[in-house]
Structure 1
Amino acid sequence: MAFKAELFREKMKACGISQKQLAERTSCDVRSISRWANGRQVPKSASILKLAEALGCSPRDFDPDFADSMEGVIVSGRVTAASHNAYAAMKLVFGVSQTQILELAPILFATVAARALQIPGDDDAFFAAHEREAKNRDIRINRFGHQDESDGLDLDRKAASDHKCFGLEPEHGSMAISRNLFCEALRRMVGQAGHRISIDMWQQDWPGHVPDADGFNPHVALLDLVAEGDPEIIRRLVRGEVRLSTSIDKAEIANKSTLGQLAELIRKDLTEQAALHRAMLEDRRRASQARLDQWRQGYELDHPEWAQEYEELTAALCHPAGWYPAHYSDKKIEEAGANPFAEARFIDRARYPGPFALFDHEPVYPCTNGDVERFKELQAHRAASKSAFEGGSQ
């Protein structure tokens, strides 16, 4: 969900409207509006539309991923800005409307899902053929280099038999290397499409995860053209950090009819959007750093020994500041970097000799190492202190 309570409160304040007045204008319960404003609950799509109308703004002003209308069609729900960019690109290249794409969506999904469920069987057949060929030459080959790979394939087979097209996550404590079958099917299909589309920046293939369009390039040549090969703008387009449809609208208003003419205006607008996005992230980073510095002053006064112990354990156990796991997308890394108040630090496995398991792609350590256990206790204490600090500063 992308609904931002702080943006909703800011919009209410800018409009000079109280929660009670907004409730009267939208026929929503004032208690619901209070919960939405405080971030305790997320409004449904129909309510977001009512709120935006009453405040005289776009739903995206406080819900950046809200699907607004295109060509008179309203998507009942939220899709990412990256998905909107894909719609806009496909309209430019193929001349298709959002309505047509939505009509085909279940057909395309079912096709990819069916292909995904075939993958374990196809892989078994592929290896069996190579094994027979090797046997004819008196060569013995091993399919798996490690038991974790064999266990992962067993999970893939079970996922296929159970129609779990997104694959199955290993159980807690298991090191089985399973796959997201849907993503694997897409990867193979994209490979057959040549260089027309790309998922090079699509980092969403962990088992059990339902992917979105973040990182998907629907037409490589088009995005290269409108971004003039600028890798930052292309990355922001496929991540949904800049709006292609917004730039297209501005270009069309300027009465530029050909794609080449449109591209110049679109490129200029995308560059401006990218600059604004960088400035916004920097503003957020400065504000977050200021909050962190202010909180630290009080925390170090109240708990000097714990603060020192945390710094020592961080230096002993963790990766350097600014390090993020490989599965973090560029967008997630940018957002984390803009929020130093969160103090995102990750334990370095190489510094911890004990066994570990993977859960949701994060290392989960058993409580056998005193340093790790104490570090997590200190993290929890700091988090509670920050919550109290933020509650008191509002």
Structure 2
Amino acid sequence: MLEEELDRAVTELAPRAFELLSRLVAEPSTVGQEQGAERILAEAMMSAGFAVTELPIPAGIRDDPAAGVPSRSYDGRFDLIGHRGDSTAARTLLLNGHIDVVPADEPDRWSSPPFVPTVRDGWLVGRGAGDMKGGFAAGLLALWALDRVIPGWMTGGLTFVAAIEEEYTGNGTLAAARAGHLAEAALLLEPTDLDILLSGIGIIWVGIEVDGYAAHAEAAEAAVNPILAAAPVIRGLQALEREMNEGHADGSDTDPAFATIAHPYNVNIGTFHAGDWDSSVPSIARIGVRVGHPGGWTSEQALARVKSAIDTETAGDAWLSTHPPRLALTGFRAERYSQAADVELVRALAAAHHDVHGTEPSRVSLGSTTDARFYVNQFGLPTAAYGPRTRNIHGTDEAVELASIVDCARAVARFLRDWYGEAS
């Protein structure tokens, strides 16, 4: 009967969660523009009984060995930290999510404006709807339902971290953890299609500069166009991707958590900028690259492998052999992480999912990363991610399935109730 009451409360409160989600999506919280969405989320967190504070990100976070490489100031930017209950109790938990979203380039290619939340066929479309504002809606929906049905259910402490820069450096979650906002275990409300996500690969971002020799287009044959000169650089990046995935396939990459991923390591050329006039040969090309890499490599070693792959392709090039590309780490310096599946957190989460769906959830690893890496690697906390179904995250017409927000909330409500123990 209690589960039926919880499910009924989740269903009745779902429109409130969907309204929250719509308001969050309507705030374009790209990197550096997080405050509008944070104000909305702070209200919702307080409605779930949290005392909410703003945690500034210290400028010195960039010097932390686990940090990413930021490209902008942290002045006026902050994490939201929510606390409820007794944080000194024997039983505590941390919920984590990120408020930042990736940009929505080429908005004309979307079926509706990316920051105008639009519901179609049971899915809410909008940038950040899936990654990961739908997770906030599901988590808060679970808490609202528990508070309605089981007053006094929480017998310990609960911390809620809404971090900035998960999509870019991870420094928001790292700063919160370094400031002591931790718990017995951590649950990330990331989009997982209702699977339990346990592991992620190593990732670096690399900025590459390729020099050219600028001129008027009339004299282009005597100039050096860096767009064309960059071709061997791109070939080197492609060769590195093949090499890493061949190593994974032949068994030399031995982490069993990633054995089921056929192609875990992608070298993605995400940006390419050069020139400012059609009738001018550019003087420089700037390339932004995301490199997924094996866990045995540090960020510096991964950068060295990128450089070596590029050097191999450019060694015989008349221009690049004397004007070598310049490489630097930018953004992510993410270590691989892997959470064992037999810890209490994962067992309890799986049991809650099974109670809702009647099936065991998949335990998965991905060729990407989450802020879970800090909790697992730097702080030794049992950590997992669990969230709703999504499609096209980071892409055109990103969306979250509304029914899966309800399903996620039903499971999270059971998990939270059992984590703390039932109370009357």
- More strand, by proportion: 2
Same fold (TM over 0.5): no
TM-score normalised by L of structure 2? 0.28
Q: Bigger relative contact order, structure 1 or 2, given CA contacts below 8 A and separation 6+?
A: 2
Larger radius of gyration, structure 1 or 2?
1
- Whichever structure has more helix as a proportion of its residues is 1
